[in-house]
A and B are shown apart, each in its own frame.
Chain A
Amino acid sequence: MIPHKAPSVLRLGPARLTAGLDHTRRLDLPAHRTLHGQPVAQDVGTLIALVNEVDMRGRGGAAFPFGRKLRAVADAAGAKESVVLVNGAEGEPASSKDAMLLVRTPHQVLDGAILAAEALNAREVVVATVAGELAEASISAAVAERRAANVAGAKESHLRIRVVGLQERFISGEGGALVRAVNGEEAVPPGRKRRASTSGVNGLPTLLSNTETYAQLALLAELGPQKYAEVGTSREPGTVLLSVSGGAATNAIVEAPTGTMLADVLDLCDAEPGDGVLIGGYHGAFLSPETAVSAVISREGMKKAGGELGAGIVVPLGANTCPLGEAARVTAYLAAQSSGQCGPCRLGLPDIARQMLALTDGSGSQDAIRRSVRAVERRGACFHPDGTARFVLSALEAFEADIALHRDYGSCGRPVRGVLPLPEREEEPEYRLEVDWTRCQGHGLCAHLLPEFVNLDDYGFPSFNTVPGWMVKEARRAVDMCPALALRLGEAVMAKTG
């Protein structure tokens, strides 16, 4: 399979995960084997020792020590079966490194996953990715290539590899939600934390980690710890993948050794920090331009600069867009992405988003936002409210000057250009309730049945808001129950809703 388009790749320093990608859009199995050789199976003990030697961490954002995770799954499984789950559903609109790996070098990911699976005696490898995207096609093709190679006499692993396509949502990348989605349940985070390492896919102990983690694992096994640690800082050896987008002239995945200056990465992508640089995605934080210049790419360096490296998302804002408006847009998106399970998140995030919007026209107050943020922090089943809180607070801090402009003049004079990428909104039908005013007697049953969409005036007569498609059943009921036979449901209009 040759993808018709592929995320572009740049690098600072040696080519590790991105080796060979200058010449081809996608490394198929023969090309991959020529470049990286045949992996050698290892037992759990050696693999954990290898991983601990370079202190490898999960690359999905939480930076959990991978060796501890391996050990936990191995202990929980004992002699039983286990599963290796590859998290390729990033959810983050600004991140594309998982998609890049799955589209362009899928065998690197599969090598790592199979290495872990064979060490753990796992029953199968499950690759969860966004349904209907290029990544799903590429990884499925990679699995087929391996099967075909085995028929032709190659010595590929015979372990079962299952590709699962998921609906893309912001929270679908969260570990618990991912496991539930793979199990065929609704992709929302579970109310009570269950470690995937004790009970994950089909209730079996599951090694769940990000796509890049597995790719790095294969690389580590191929190179050995000495060679692997030749680049990067001594505490976090190796390279990281950074998704650079937004105000950068070249949107690309950058492979850079840890310890690289953020400024170099931005230069490589022809990007200006502008009003700030968002690090770590929409649950991350903005760095002000001054700190961005001196920031270093590594977990430690980013923490010193006041951010989190997270999943390696770098979004420079540039100087041409209104930074506060951008932040307000993303906050509204994050609010709409709440799964609605936890009350503080479902009610609090839209509140924060509205207040951010008020701040952009100069009417809101920062203290009110801080109060609302405090009401949602650490009050949800998953990290979504906390991450949103961090994003909003860092925006308030980084755009202090811009907020003052908005307060004084109602605008900073720059338009909102949509530099922070958001997924396309879905088209959803909307219905309009129509009333025959000559028949309406003001009985008010419709207002009782549809309190959100029907308001009664002082005389008891209704006025209507448009009804979203998912409420159409209730609207029909109101039409049926109108005692005066005065209500009708109008034609569906396609409208963009978040």
Chain B
Amino acid sequence: MLHRRHPLHAPTKLDRRNVRLGVSASIAALLLSAFALTLTNSGMSLLGRGVGFLEFYAGVFALVLLTATVALGLLTTEKVFLSPANRVRAQLAHRATAAIGLAYLVTHVTLMISLGHVPPAAAVLPVAGIWIGFGTLAADMMVLIIITGVVRGRFAVTGRPWVWRILHAGSYLAWPVAILHGLTAGRPAAGWVTWSYVACLVAVGSALLVRVLATLRRPPAMPEPVDLLEVDDSPIERPEEINAPVSLDAARRKFREAG
């Protein structure tokens, strides 16, 4: 029996009042402690080191998280990889990594602009050279794609869900561009970094290939043919008429013939 205080299922245990309060409190504590650090000299140098770290690594984190987002998104759409329960989890993880990745992306862009590495216009327009321009392009597309992800529910109500699919599939274009930017802009990448990115590209690319091929080669969904019963063409045997008037002679003859 379903009871309102105890529904059978609990889709997520994270969306609780206490968790929400805790997360807001810790974010507030983080901001306040950063603010407190600005008050002392040693705190300022600590903050400077933190900013220097983020200057180098915010972009890397964003790229890694968005890579995970693309892979998780691909995993969750297909039936073959995961069970329904894990697909739900993968979808939640997909959203989480997208949100955190976006946060790092914003950090990366604001730091690059505020530290004077690129002009402010580079945030939206590819004006700062080709390699950084790739990053701008990828960031713009990522933001658009994440927006389509947020308003996904709207497309379910309209008659054109394929519009959403095409827009959201733009990530398969934006993501390699972002990796290209990551490998070429800034300092030269270490060998293992390049190789791991290539491995990611190959893995997701092949999964995508499987998906595209499976969609293209899927036979049209038709009802399975059901065998019809064989038709018998042999002539219909008429039973002897038994209601015909019987002549006594004919009956005797028949009796004699039968012996």
The total number of A-B Cβ pairs within 8 Å is: 66
The answer to the question of A346 belonging to the interface, with a C-beta cut-off of 8 Å to chain B, is yes
The answer to the question of B49 belonging to the interface, with a C-beta cut-off of 8 Å to chain A, is no
CB of A348, distance to nearest CB on chain B (Å)? 9
A471 CA to B4 CA, complexed, in Å: 8
CB neighbours of B9 from chain A (8 A): 449-452, 474
Q: Considering only CB atoms, which chain B residue lies closest to A444 in the complex?
A: B84
Whether the pair A452, B7 counts as a contact (CB closer than 8 A) is: yes
The answer to the question of B164 belonging to the interface, with a C-beta cut-off of 8 Å to chain A, is yes
CB of B178, distance to nearest CB on chain A (Å)? 25
Using known A-B contacts A443-B84, A445-B84, A448-B88, determine if residue A480 contacts B6 with beta carbons closer than 8 Å. no
Whether the pair B156, A451 counts as a contact (CB closer than 8 A) is: no
Contact-size category for A: 35 or more
Whether the pair A486, B156 counts as a contact (CB closer than 8 A) is: yes
Using known A-B contacts A443-B84, A447-B84, A488-B157, determine if residue A346 contacts B11 with beta carbons closer than 8 Å. no
Using known A-B contacts A480-B152, A485-B164, determine if residue A350 contacts B1 with beta carbons closer than 8 Å. yes
CB neighbours of B155 from chain A (8 A): 485
Contact of B6 among A346, A449, A468 (CB under 8 A): A346
Which residues B1-19 have CB closer than 8 A to chain A? 1-9, 11
CB neighbours of A449 from chain B (8 A): 9, 11, 88
A339 CA to B4 CA, complexed, in Å: 9
Contact-size category for B: 20 to 34
CB of A467, distance to nearest CB on chain B (Å)? 11
A32 CA to B81 CA, complexed, in Å: 80
CB neighbours of A448 from chain B (8 A): 84-85, 88
CB of A451, distance to nearest CB on chain B (Å)? 5
Chain A 430-461 against B: per-residue CB contact (8 Å), 1 yes, 0 no?
Answer: 00000000010101110111111000000000
A485 CA to B151 CA, complexed, in Å: 12
The answer to the question of A487 belonging to the interface, with a C-beta cut-off of 8 Å to chain B, is yes
Chain A contact residues: over half helix, strand or loop, or mixed?
A: mixed
Using known A-B contacts A480-B152, A485-B152, A488-B156, determine if residue A445 contacts B3 with beta carbons closer than 8 Å. no
The answer to the question of A396 belonging to the interface, with a C-beta cut-off of 8 Å to chain B, is no
The answer to the question of B22 belonging to the interface, with a C-beta cut-off of 8 Å to chain A, is no
Chain B 1-41 against A: per-residue CB contact (8 Å), 1 yes, 0 no?
Answer: 11111111101000000000000000000000000000000
The answer to the question of A477 belonging to the interface, with a C-beta cut-off of 8 Å to chain B, is yes
CB of A161, distance to nearest CB on chain B (Å)? 34
CB neighbours of A346 from chain B (8 A): 1, 3, 5-6
A480 CA to B164 CA, complexed, in Å: 13
Whether the pair B7, A340 counts as a contact (CB closer than 8 A) is: no
CB neighbours of A445 from chain B (8 A): 84, 87-88, 91
A152 CA to B2 CA, complexed, in Å: 58
Contact of B156 among A350, A471, A479 (CB under 8 A): A479
CB neighbours of A339 from chain B (8 A): 5
Whether the pair A341, B5 counts as a contact (CB closer than 8 A) is: yes
CB neighbours of A495 from chain B (8 A): none
The answer to the question of A482 belonging to the interface, with a C-beta cut-off of 8 Å to chain B, is yes
CB neighbours of A477 from chain B (8 A): 11
CB neighbours of A64 from chain B (8 A): none
The answer to the question of A377 belonging to the interface, with a C-beta cut-off of 8 Å to chain B, is no
CB of A351, distance to nearest CB on chain B (Å)? 7
Q: Considering only CB atoms, which chain A residue lies closest to B221 in the complex?
A: A441
CB of A306, distance to nearest CB on chain B (Å)? 31
CB neighbours of A452 from chain B (8 A): 2, 7-9
The answer to the question of A409 belonging to the interface, with a C-beta cut-off of 8 Å to chain B, is no
CB of A458, distance to nearest CB on chain B (Å)? 14
CB neighbours of B87 from chain A (8 A): 443, 445, 483
Chain A 454-498 against B: per-residue CB contact (8 Å), 1 yes, 0 no?
Answer: 000000000000001011001011011111111110000000000
Whether the pair A443, B79 counts as a contact (CB closer than 8 A) is: yes
Which residues B55-111 have CB closer than 8 A to chain A? 76-77, 79, 84-85, 87-88, 91
Which residues B144-194 have CB closer than 8 A to chain A? 152-153, 155-157, 161, 164
CB of A314, distance to nearest CB on chain B (Å)? 32
Which residues A209-265 have CB closer than 8 A to chain B? none
Whether the pair A340, B156 counts as a contact (CB closer than 8 A) is: no
CB neighbours of A338 from chain B (8 A): 3
The answer to the question of A148 belonging to the interface, with a C-beta cut-off of 8 Å to chain B, is no
Nearest first, the 6 A-B pairs at minimum CB distance are A340-B5, A485-B161, A350-B1, A485-B156, A448-B84, A340-B3
Chain B interface residues (CB < 8 Å from chain A):
1-9, 11, 76-77, 79, 84-85, 87-88, 91, 152-153, 155-157, 161, 164
User: Please, could you name 12 A-B residue pairs with CB atoms under 8 Å apart, sorted by A?
Assistant: A340-B4, A350-B1, A439-B161, A443-B84, A449-B9, A452-B2, A471-B7, A474-B7, A474-B11, A479-B156, A483-B76, A485-B164
Chain A interface residues (CB < 8 Å from chain B):
338-341, 346-347, 350-351, 439, 441, 443-445, 447-452, 468, 470-471, 474, 476-477, 479-488
